[in-house]
Structures are given as C-alpha cells and as structure tokens.
C-alpha cells in the first residue's frame, strides 16, 4: 500500500499575515516581496482568518479601486474553506477544485499553521513521481 501524502508535508509553514486595514498596494507589495500569491488576513474582531489573493487585488484594482487608499477588508474572502494538516493532498485538491480555489488556509487547533496552494500540490506530486522513478 502506498503512503498517503498529507497537507502538512506539502504546505508552506511560512504565512504572510496582514490586517483588514492594509491597503491593496501594501498587500500587493508584501506578496510581491515574498513572491507568493496570497496572504492570510487576521481580523481581531472577525470570526476567523480570511484570505486575500493576488486575484482579489487584481479584481479590485481592475474595478477602479485606488490601491493606495482602498483597504483590503472589502476584498477578502472571509468565508474561506480551511484545510487540516492531516488531510490527504487528494482531499485538499478536491476541495480546491469544487470551490474554485487556488489556496487553502491550514488550521490546527484554531491556529493558522500554514497555507497550501495548487503549486504546492503540483510540487509534492512531481517530487513523489521523481522519487518513485529513481527507486524503480
């Protein structure tokens, strides 16, 4: 039987956290500086973390929002679907496909412990195939 890869093995444990009052430009600059496509948004008055993606920034600016004054709070996905670190990668991929998401916030015991993206899934599966081929 083949080992099942889990989210914890593929996720990024280094997560960019921003607040809802960051401007679109600030969010974009922080994501660009780290070469990542999303940020987890922490709102102390909210019910849980939200997520802002590069696509959210693009849509906001494309709709005419001023990136220097527009706060992120109105462009965040607050009803994000969260992954658990022990989900299989297939489970995470199915949730992404069903919801049309490219990123999932990973939550364990109520805390953000990582983020998993489509790129992370592809990297994990590609490395697994390379390792399997090398051991054959």
CATH at residue 35: 3.10.580.10
How far apart (Å, rounded) are the C-alpha atoms in residues 84 and 99?
A: 16
Can you give the pLDDT at residue 2? 58
Can you give the pLDDT at residue 1? 37
pTM: 0.86
Domain ranges, residue 88: 7-135
Q: How confident is the model at residue 133 (pLDDT cuts 50, 70, 90)?
A: confident
Q: How confident is the model at residue 129 (pLDDT cuts 50, 70, 90)?
A: confident
Q: Which of 43-47, 54-58, 70-74, 125-129 has the lowest mean pLDDT?
A: 43-47
Tell me, yes or no, whether 2 lies in a domain: no
Tell me, yes or no, whether 1 lies in a domain: no
Picking from 71, 77, 73, the residue whose alpha carbon sits closest to that of residue 44 is 73
Structurally, how many domains does the chain consist of? 1
Tell me, yes or no, whether 92 lies in a domain: yes
């Amino acid at each position: 039987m083949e080992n099942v890869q889990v989210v914890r093995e593929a996720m990024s444990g280094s997560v960019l956290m921003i607040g809802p009052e960051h401007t679109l430009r600030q969010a974009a600059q922080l994501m660009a500086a780290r070469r990542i496509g999303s940020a987890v948004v922490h709102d102390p008055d909210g019910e849980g973390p939200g997520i802002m993606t590069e696509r959210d920034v693009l849509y906001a600016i494309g709709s005419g929002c001023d990136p220097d004054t527009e706060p992120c709070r109105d462009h965040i996905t607050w009803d994000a679907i969260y992954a658990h670190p022990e989900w299989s990668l297939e489970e995470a991929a199915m949730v992404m496909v069903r919801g049309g998401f490219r990123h999932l916030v990973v939550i364990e015991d109520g805390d953000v412990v990582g983020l998993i993206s489509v790129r992370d899934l592809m990297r994990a599966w590609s490395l697994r195939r390379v390792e399997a081929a090398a051991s054959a």
